[in-house]
Structure 1
Amino acid sequence: MGYINESVIYNIYPLGFCGAPRDNDGKLVYRLDKIYDCIDHLKKMSVNVLVFNPLFESSRHGYDTIDYRKVDCRLGDNNSFKKICNTLHENGIKVILDGVFNHVGRDFFAFKDVQQNLGNSRYCNWFQNLNFGGRSPKGDPFWYEGWAGHYDLVKLNLQNDEVVNYLLDSVKFWIDEFDIDGLRLDAADCIDLEFFKKLRNVCKSEKPDFWLYGEITHGDYNRWANDNLLDSVTNYECYKGIYSSHNDHNYFEIAHSLNRQFGNGGIYRNIYTFNFVDNHDVNRISSDLKDKNHLKNVYTLMYTMPGVPSIYYGSEYGIEGKRTQFSDYELRPCLDLNNVENADYDLLNHIIKLGKVRLALDALKYGKFDNVNIMNEKLVYKRFTDNQTVFVAFNLTDHDEKIGFDTGCNAKLTDVLNDNEVIDVNGYCELSLKPYSSRILVVNDGSFKVNFDDECEVKTVTADVPTKKEKKVEKLKKVQKGRYRHFKGTEYEVLGVSTHSETGEKLVIYMSVDGKETLWARPYDMFTDVVEHNGKKINRFTLLS
């Protein structure tokens, strides 16, 4: 079945995560190097796959591609990303990139050629429905099809063999040069299925366990995920069911979806779906839930249902974010994952436990699914293989509850989510559940347990990647008002320098520019200091303007 069954996925939107300018300013800044500081955090959560939303060179948000074979300069360059990939692989973390093959940006080289040479351009047939019988909404003396009516996103003509070969060669480039392990296919429902067939053949011939999953928001998943096309799809049906069943106190909703998809006779039993509770296109789960006490149950459900779980960066801390009619930027903030404001560390610790539990239990990674007891506010289902059975029980109420179910065995249940508590059962079992809680119960002889004490080991890259000769870095001579960037990528506005009333120490006063306008104070000497980061000496803060 490939590596994905043994995986916990983490998903970042690089341009937002790194605090890149919204418009490509053409300046090369190694913002994505902040990934190095996140590896120990990822490994504590048992993350072993990292999905990068678009990082190819683009004009603005990543989905308006300029160059399919170049890392966006706002994030770094190809050499720096190659080093990142090597480091992630050294630490047991696979790399999946976002393949945006339905459309390109208006600055894409072939479209620029059409703008310059009009009907004489050799690239006229690269774009969907391009003709010279009218003007585009962008003022071009020709018409073309924009994706979903967005004319900054120019639809590619995937019936053109030259376009297809260009894209496939680009994919081979990322596999050969960066050893990537998979692709997320953006807007997969809009892409010609024959292209996916060719893409699969290329990727699987390069790496047999290469994983392809498509962004599908509706429809029959079997149309895209099968032995001829993609391996998997985004499970939007259960994404909605997970949060709304908690909001409505109606576990029947998610139980119905799970049974429809994965139960006996389920229509998606042969698809290992990509499961999520939020991403860069939808509200953060903490903003969608009416009662944040349900967060733990939400994640327990996602980690124990069939398919692979994915965490969207920052949501492990319970951060909030809603999309608006005009912008998705609140969903894609710049974050230091080791220093998140108002972090919910109780939720993080719960997710750390879930990661260890998932990877320890074959029934969760490979097992079949069956509902056992469904009630409005309580739910029990089981995951099972020939060699292991696991019951998962939920209570979404604000008080203690009991729920009974037939275990079908005379054995013991070990609750691996709650201190490896051992419970004797003889057929029918009635369990107590605390408010807003869940249990993950493994059928065994009483000796089974999951160890939560293992420490992760973060390895450094050993690959020989060429780098430019370093220049001598000197300490900042003077701090003035203006915009500065911290060496981890976050930007701040320096308001001035003050003097401590008791000690006389000079302090730099600065403010975050993420919309929250949090005030900070740092000793002057520390603010102007040089630090070592990823083997290089750099300024702790760099003046931008």
Structure 2
Amino acid sequence: MSTPGWVEHAIWWQVYPLGFVGAFPADPAPTADEHRLRRVAEWFDHALELGASGVALGPVFASQTHGYDTTDHYAVDPRLGDDADFDHLVEQARSRGLRLLLDGVFNHVGTEFGRHQEALAGGDDSWFRKGRNGFATFEGHGGLITLNHRNPEVVDYVVDVMLHWLRRGADGWRLDAAYAVPDEFWATVLPRVRAEFPEAWFVGEVIHGDYVGTVAASTFDSVTQYELWKAMWSSLNDVNFHELDHALGRHDTFLETFAPLTFVGNHDVTRIASQLTDERHVGHALAVLLTVGGTPSVYAGDEWAYRGVKEERVGGDDAVRPEFPTHPGESEHLGHDTFRLHQHLIGLRRRHPWLYRARTSALHLTNGQYVYRTFSAEGTLLVALNVDDAPLRMPLAEWGLGSGRVVAGSGAPPEDDVDAVDVEPHGWAVLTV
């Protein structure tokens, strides 16, 4: 198994469609004849302007509420539209050279899923895992019924669903709650899908645990890098770069086997602009995201410093999954400094595609100051992060690096190569050497 070559250049712009187009929560819910899914395509030029090469979609299949309680994997959610709207999305993406990643919920289904309704009526119940009082549920959520992944019919069903939408134009799958599904299930399903679509990409949602072991056992191409996500924001908030350095060390070991999906925000977590206690440090988090190995993803709205706090309650995700205007031009008042910063750092990454497999090593490390070298056989960058109230001195010549040039950062970069750089308090910089 080898990861498709196009993934080395992939940068995702992630969208949660049901929230993005105002389909959930909504009362009354929109109907298929409103064709709201097409509103996502209206933002594809924005994704290109940002520098993304693909759009990672949240759930678009028929479901009861938030999209993760699927009722029909073969049907577009009627709150979003219909099959023709999905085809329009694919056509518009292809015309711009954008890839499409779908969100597949194959650990559990909603209570209105056809097979579940048949089982409740006394029919075949072999599609579902048994619990103490009936069918097992996902993490105690009564509306999410866990599939029996040892049933060959379930294996065949998931293979067929994946192939159906890949044939319709998708480029890969994010596999929701992949950590809750037996690895051997994926190891049975994915080779059958790859037999027809060897260029498809599969990323499993894994929160913690043995990432390397999971990738090997499941045959995923990648998993979600929650360890690094947590270290990025908490090291900034706690003024403890030792945590980030430790996480990057582990990240290097993952890169020996696979390139993780990296992010500072997604549809399941508090937005980075709200998560950080000091708004000056948003640039620090982005600098890490876009200079370390992996496949980066930007959650829609983060590029404009959207705010939103996830809460552990019913409706607690709504603040991080807001409705967007119909067209990007209607959002001109939002945080364009943050948008331009995203553009600049994504452009930097595109000019250095070797960053996909880059490793890191620390050159300077204290609680509040961190300089790391990110490198491969093809190039080297230095990244300096300062959350101290004192300047950070980078004596490149003393470190045996000769001279360098600042190519990104919080301050005005010098125009010429220099042999030492000062990074202001709460500032950051990226240098070529």
The TM-score, its normalising length taken from structure 1, stands at: 0.73
Q: What one-letter code is carried by the residue in structure 2 that aligns with 1:272?
A: A
Q: For residue 304 of structure 2, what is the aligned residue in structure 1? A: 317
User: Which stretch shows the higher mean deviation, 95-104 or 363-372?
Assistant: 363-372
Displacement of 1:308: 1.5
**Partner of residue 319 from structure 2, selected from 330, 333, 352:** 330
Displacement of 1:278: 1.7
Name the Cα RMSD after superposition: 2.1
The verdict on how the C-alpha distance between 1:420 and 1:93 changes in structure 2, with shifts beyond 3 A counting, is farther
The verdict on how the C-alpha distance between 1:385 and 1:360 changes in structure 2, with shifts beyond 3 A counting, is same
SS of the residue 1:417 aligns to = strand
User: Which stretch shows the higher mean deviation, 324-333 or 15-24?
Assistant: 15-24
Distance in 2, Cα, partners of 1:414 & 1:44: 26
Query: Normalized per residue, which structure has more helix?
Result: 2
Distance in 2, Cα, partners of 1:227 & 1:102: 17
The verdict on how the C-alpha distance between 1:384 and 1:9 changes in structure 2, with shifts beyond 3 A counting, is same
Q: What are the Cα deviations for residues 387-445 of structure 1, in whole angstroms up to 9, with x where unaligned? A: 312111222235643233555444x42322257745546xxx431113433222122xx
**Partner of residue 9 from structure 2, selected from 6, 13, 33:** 6
Select the structure of larger CA radius of gyration. Answer: 1
Q: For residue 206 of structure 1, what is the aligned residue in structure 2? A: 196
Q: Is the 8 A contact 1:400 1:434 kept in 2?
A: yes
Q: What one-letter code is carried by the residue in structure 1 that aligns with 2:195?
A: S
Q: Is the 8 A contact 2:69 2:109 kept in 1?
A: yes
**Partner of residue 17 from structure 1, selected from 20, 30, 36:** 20
Q: For residue 502 of structure 1, what is the aligned residue in structure 2? A: none
Q: For residue 281 of structure 1, what is the aligned residue in structure 2? A: 268
SS of the residue 2:282 aligns to = helix
Displacement of 1:25: 4.8
Q: Is the 8 A contact 2:177 2:204 kept in 1?
A: yes
Q: What one-letter code is carried by the residue in structure 2 that aligns with 1:74?
A: R
Distance in 1, Cα, partners of 2:345 & 2:156: 42
Displacement of 1:190: 0.7
SS of the residue 1:5 aligns to = helix
Q: For residue 126 of structure 1, what is the aligned residue in structure 2? A: 127
Displacement of 1:225: 1.5
Q: What are the Cα deviations for residues 147-180 of structure 1, in whole angstroms up to 9, with x where unaligned? A: 1111100000010001110111011000112x21
Pair 1:195 & 2:198 matched? no
Pair 1:402 & 2:393 matched? yes
Q: What one-letter code is carried by the residue in structure 2 that aligns with 1:201?
A: P
Q: What one-letter code is carried by the residue in structure 2 that aligns with 1:125?
A: S
User: Which stretch shows the higher mean deviation, 396-405 or 194-203?
Assistant: 396-405
Kindly report which structure 2 residues correspond to 1:89-488, keeping only aligned pairs within 5 A, or say none. Answer: 89-116=94-121, 118=122, 121-122=123-124, 124-129=125-130, 143-177=134-168, 179-226=169-216, 229-262=219-252, 266-326=253-313, 327-336=316-325, 337-340=328-331, 343-398=334-389, 400-405=391-396, 408-410=400-402, 412-417=403-408, 421-424=414-417, 429-443=419-433
Q: What one-letter code is carried by the residue in structure 2 that aligns with 1:413?
A: G
- Extract unaligned runs of 5+ from structure 1: 137-142, 444-545
Distance in 2, Cα, partners of 1:286 & 1:413: 31
Distance in 2, Cα, partners of 1:365 & 1:240: 20
SS of the residue 1:66 aligns to = strand
Distance in 1, Cα, partners of 2:425 & 2:210: 36
Q: What are the Cα deviations for residues 464-496 of structure 1, in whole angstroms up to 9, with x where unaligned? A: xxxxxxxxxxxxxxxxxxxxxxxxxxxxxxxxx
The verdict on how the C-alpha distance between 1:363 and 1:436 changes in structure 2, with shifts beyond 3 A counting, is farther
Query: Normalized per residue, which structure has more strand?
Result: 1
Q: For residue 59 of structure 1, what is the aligned residue in structure 2? A: 64
Q: Is the 8 A contact 2:228 2:251 kept in 1?
A: no
Distance in 2, Cα, partners of 1:48 & 1:362: 13
SS of the residue 1:125 aligns to = coil
Q: For residue 90 of structure 2, what is the aligned residue in structure 1? A: 85
Displacement of 1:268: 4.5
Q: What one-letter code is carried by the residue in structure 1 that aligns with 2:25?
A: R
The verdict on how the C-alpha distance between 1:71 and 1:127 changes in structure 2, with shifts beyond 3 A counting, is same
SS of the residue 1:126 aligns to = coil
Displacement of 1:319: 1.2
Distance in 2, Cα, partners of 1:363 & 1:268: 12
Q: What one-letter code is carried by the residue in structure 2 that aligns with 1:329?
A: D
Q: Is the 8 A contact 2:273 2:307 kept in 1?
A: yes
Displacement of 1:5: 1.9
The verdict on how the C-alpha distance between 1:71 and 1:322 changes in structure 2, with shifts beyond 3 A counting, is same
Q: Is the 8 A contact 1:217 1:234 kept in 2?
A: yes
Q: What one-letter code is carried by the residue in structure 1 that aligns with 2:144?
A: L
The TM-score, its normalising length taken from structure 2, stands at: 0.91
Q: Is the 8 A contact 2:345 2:408 kept in 1?
A: yes
Number of residue equivalences: 421
User: Which stretch shows the higher mean deviation, 10-19 or 320-329?
Assistant: 320-329
Q: Is the 8 A contact 1:363 1:389 kept in 2?
A: no
Distance in 2, Cα, partners of 1:307 & 1:420: 27
Q: What one-letter code is carried by the residue in structure 2 that aligns with 1:109?
A: G
Distance in 1, Cα, partners of 2:66 & 2:341: 33
Q: Is the 8 A contact 2:292 2:358 kept in 1?
A: no
**Partner of residue 50 from structure 1, selected from 41, 49, 55:** 55
Q: Is the 8 A contact 2:62 2:72 kept in 1?
A: yes
SS of the residue 2:273 aligns to = helix
The verdict on how the C-alpha distance between 1:407 and 1:203 changes in structure 2, with shifts beyond 3 A counting, is farther
Distance in 2, Cα, partners of 1:172 & 1:42: 26
Percent of aligned positions with the same letter in both sequences? 31
Q: For residue 496 of structure 1, what is the aligned residue in structure 2? A: none
Displacement of 1:110: 0.6
Q: Is the 8 A contact 1:41 1:338 kept in 2?
A: no
Distance in 1, Cα, partners of 2:235 & 2:18: 33
Displacement of 1:267: 4.9
Distance in 1, Cα, partners of 2:215 & 2:92: 31
The verdict on how the C-alpha distance between 1:210 and 1:317 changes in structure 2, with shifts beyond 3 A counting, is same
Distance in 2, Cα, partners of 1:222 & 1:82: 36
The verdict on how the C-alpha distance between 1:407 and 1:321 changes in structure 2, with shifts beyond 3 A counting, is same
